[in-house]
Chain A
Amino acid sequence: MSETSGDIRAVTVPKWGLAMEEGTLTAWLAGEGETIAKGQELAEIESTKIANVLESPAAGVLRRQVAQPGQVLPVGALLGVIAPAGVPDADIDAFVAGFVVDPPDEEGAEAGLAEGEAAGARGPIAYKAANPRAEAVPAILVHGFGGDSDNFMFNIEALAADRPVYAIDLPGHGRSAKTLGSGDMAELAGAILALMDAVEAPRAHLVGHSLGAAACFEVASQAPARVASLAGVAPAGLGPTVNDAYISGFLAAERRKDVKAALQMLFADPDLVSAAMIEGVLRALRLDGAREALSAIAAATLPGGSQARSYRAMLDATPIRTLVLWGERDAILPPEQGEGLPASVRLVRIPAVGHMPHMEAAALVNEQLAAHFAAG
């Protein structure tokens, strides 16, 4: 392992998702010699799947920019070096010269992520786990309609520094069973509770995106004692309106073009939708039973194109600490639905971000969530 040497810390090409083998450094966001805080945005990296910001793994001074913008580098390659100002230049040079890229793991190369299955009511519920042996109360990340656990590729490890983090595939989604009962919110909540049982978590911090947030609110209604805190990222369940063009467009999409048009509604910057992201969504939709399952969930949770259940009354009454994060340019669920919540709910509106804050503004969302978990 060549990641650190004394106070010297390597900044390397991250691995965002199983398929990522290399990344392009598109820009440095910090200059050589600049003092850096841990978690500060350091550089922009682009994989075939998505472009995103790399956060600093440590505090210190950005002593070297080893890689130049435009360079294509394998996962794990050295981008730059962070060290305290007092470390001599010669030591930095020696560190750079001696740096060796760790060979990529073979199977399950998503560093530190384990895959598991819980027994759901109608079949297996798949999940990914980071840092499962940590002692603290775990966090469970719940994706939205049509998504899967990979939607949290920028969050799961960042949040797992001191606690277990699990990202679920809801029923009908990802690698979970495609056979459903009614497909209603109670069934989705049941899957979250099944995952908690499987990992022997009496309580958990629940983080839901969009429809997944409503499923978390449903868990809080049914089993409040099992919820350590709630966080909704662009949450459903706070108002009737939803962009039905997205839901129906997504369900009907057979071809790349249609999927692209639907996915572009999710992001404030439509260029974030890459060919690989489209193919990933198509791969999920092509599985036998996937479309039928999604249609059933849409029919049960969004009858007539509007949200069946509101959890505002639950939030008004609950003592559970709740955080709501909303992109101001969300085109799926209007950010105005975050208004008028009880004073106990902390609302953070994020400018220039669409319906996917956990991807579009991962650093900020991770910071907010980590602080929210820790405050308990």
Chain B
Amino acid sequence: MAKKTYRQAINEAIASEMRRDPRVIVMGEDNAGGAGAPGEQDAWGGVLGVTKGLIGEFGAERVLDTPITESAFIGAAAGAAATGLRPVAELMFIDFMGVCFDQIFNQAAKFRYMFGGRAVTPLVIRTMYGAGFRAASQHSQSLYPIFTHIPGLKVVLPSSPYDAKGLLIQAIRDDDPVIFCEHKVLYDETGEVPDEAYTIPFGEANLTREGKDLTIVAFGRMVNFANQAADQLRRDGISATVIDPRTTSPLDSETILDCVAETGRLVVVDEASPRCSMAADISRLVAEEAFSHLKAPIRTITPPHTPVPFSPQLEDLYVPGVPRILEAARAVMQH
């Protein structure tokens, strides 16, 4: 099977759904790039080239370059979804949610509920998140817990090319607003991705490693670090299960609780700021539902509660990595 990058997997998902369903449109800043300006069309294809090639196949009617005004085009996308299109809007960096949050949490997220189930909002907002890209405090945050907090939104964090394609196709076919969070450091990761279309259901965790001693729950890019840590632990005779929940809303709590019941030890790895994070949320879940199974205190691994630093040395310290996971895993094993 062909190996593809995370970037190609996302591009393939959008293209295959645009071919399948004429209601699917793409909109965002520089999604084509150069459209409306003199020069080559499709010069950019998105700030990191994810939507490249779409305007050539589907034309400027379905691949819309918007002005730099998230409040307007995210609002327009929510309206388009409410009236029957299936927009895939790109919020270039998740950090820009501040200027369009009302359109998302007070409008799109509420339509189904406030119209008594008679309105659907098949909107996908693709957005880049995460540190490690030397992009400084305003372009590096992991704000997915804020979306997870809002009832009515579905929140997706693909950790591999295979998951990225299947989860995005699922998101586009889903009738509810989905926040699809792409980690910008993962775009060049490669993995096996089928050429055909496929869907991964939301709320279905993946076990990327299987073990009996310890459960590690990790999100997005952190799944790769957790896998590396689990492989090292295995050499030391400690077998760890790594759970990638894939979606934070809905959350596959059942799989997490089942694994904790089996292993009795839990480490959660989350790139979001520590307060009101997924790490805090999973810890609450396990403390409440599986306390009697725990053989050691839960350990959470998150960045410190600071903005993402621009200094490369500080940014490297900020992002959770394999050594911290190993340290926490050994600590819960020795408890």
Residues of B within 8 A of A107 (CB): 3
B197-A288 in contact (CB<8A): yes
B237-A70 in contact (CB<8A): yes
A287-B204 in contact (CB<8A): no
| Inter-chain CB contacts under 8 Å: number | 44
B204-A256 in contact (CB<8A): yes
A288 to chain B, nearest CB (A): 4
Those of A241-282 within 8 Å (CB) of chain B? 254-256, 274-276, 279
A105 to chain B, nearest CB (A): 12
B4 to chain A, nearest CB (A): 12
Residues of B within 8 A of A48 (CB): 209-210
A274-B210 in contact (CB<8A): yes
B284 within 8 A of A: no
B235-A283 in contact (CB<8A): no
A255-B204 in contact (CB<8A): yes
Select B166's contact among A18, A19, A286, beta carbons within 8 Å: A286
Residues of A within 8 A of B205 (CB): 256
Known A70-B237, A72-B234; contact A287-B198, beta-carbon cutoff 8 A: yes
Residues of B within 8 A of A309 (CB): none
Most buried by B among A24, A276, A283: A283
A175 within 8 A of B: yes
B242 to chain A, nearest CB (A): 10
Question: How far, in whole Å, are A107 and B3 apart by their CA atoms in the complex?
Answer: 8
B196-A287 in contact (CB<8A): yes
Residues of A within 8 A of B3 (CB): 107
B198-A254 in contact (CB<8A): no
Select A72's contact among B166, B199, B235, beta carbons within 8 Å: B235
Residues of A within 8 A of B237 (CB): 70
Question: How far, in whole Å, are A283 and B160 apart by their CA atoms in the complex?
Answer: 14
A104 to chain B, nearest CB (A): 13
Those of A1-23 within 8 Å (CB) of chain B? 18-19
Residues of B within 8 A of A279 (CB): 206-207
Most buried by B among A19, A254, A255: A255
A288-B196 in contact (CB<8A): yes
Question: How far, in whole Å, are A275 and B258 apart by their CA atoms in the complex?
Answer: 14
Q: Which residue of chain A lies nearest to B208 when distances are taken between CB atoms in the complex? A: A275
B197-A18 in contact (CB<8A): no
Q: Which residue of chain B lies nearest to A288 when distances are taken between CB atoms in the complex? A: B197
B332 within 8 A of A: no
Size range of the chain A interface in the assembly = 20 to 34
Those of B220-276 within 8 Å (CB) of chain A? 231, 234-235, 237, 255
A123 to chain B, nearest CB (A): 11
Q: Which residue of chain A lies nearest to B170 when distances are taken between CB atoms in the complex? A: A286
B36 within 8 A of A: no
Residues of B within 8 A of A175 (CB): 1, 194
Known A274-B210, A287-B196, A288-B198; contact A18-B1, beta-carbon cutoff 8 A: yes
Size range of the chain B interface in the assembly = 20 to 34
Q: Which residue of chain A lies nearest to B197 when distances are taken between CB atoms in the complex? A: A288
Using an 8 Å CB-CB cutoff, how does the interface string of A268-310 with B read, 1 for contact, 0 for none?
0000001110010001001110000000000000000000000
A256-B255 in contact (CB<8A): yes
Known A70-B237, A72-B234, A256-B255; contact A283-B207, beta-carbon cutoff 8 A: no
Dominant secondary structure at the A interface:
loop
B76 within 8 A of A: no
A283-B198 in contact (CB<8A): yes
B323 within 8 A of A: no
B198 to chain A, nearest CB (A): 4
Select B194's contact among A24, A72, A274, A287, beta carbons within 8 Å: A287
Select B200's contact among A18, A72, A286, beta carbons within 8 Å: A286
A33 to chain B, nearest CB (A): 28
Known A72-B234, A287-B196; contact A275-B201, beta-carbon cutoff 8 A: no
Using an 8 Å CB-CB cutoff, how does the interface string of A19-55 with B read, 1 for contact, 0 for none?
1000010000000000000000000000010000000
Select A283's contact among B194, B197, B201, B231, beta carbons within 8 Å: B194
A275-B200 in contact (CB<8A): no
Question: How far, in whole Å, are A18 and B191 apart by their CA atoms in the complex?
Answer: 12
Known A70-B237, A286-B166; contact A275-B198, beta-carbon cutoff 8 A: no
Those of B144-171 within 8 Å (CB) of chain A? 162, 166
Question: How far, in whole Å, are A276 and B204 apart by their CA atoms in the complex?
Answer: 15
B207-A275 in contact (CB<8A): yes
Q: Which residue of chain B lies nearest to A107 when distances are taken between CB atoms in the complex? A: B3
B84 to chain A, nearest CB (A): 23
Question: How far, in whole Å, are A287 and B234 apart by their CA atoms in the complex?
Answer: 33
A254-B235 in contact (CB<8A): no
Residues of A within 8 A of B162 (CB): 283
Question: How far, in whole Å, are A113 and B109 apart by their CA atoms in the complex?
Answer: 50
Residues of A within 8 A of B206 (CB): 279
Residues of A within 8 A of B196 (CB): 178, 287-288
Using an 8 Å CB-CB cutoff, how does the interface string of A218-262 with B read, 1 for contact, 0 for none?
000000000000000000000000000000000000111000000
Interface residues, chain B, with chain A CB atoms under 8 Å away: 1, 3, 162, 166, 192, 194, 196-201, 204-207, 209-210, 231, 234-235, 237, 255
A sample of 15 cross-chain residue pairs with beta-carbon separation below 8 angstroms, ordered by A number, consists of A18-B1, A48-B210, A72-B234, A254-B204, A255-B204, A256-B205, A275-B207, A279-B206, A279-B207, A283-B194, A286-B166, A286-B198, A287-B197, A288-B198, A288-B199
Which 8 pairs from chain A and chain B are nearest by CB? A275-B207, A286-B198, A275-B210, A288-B197, A287-B198, A287-B196, A72-B235, A286-B199
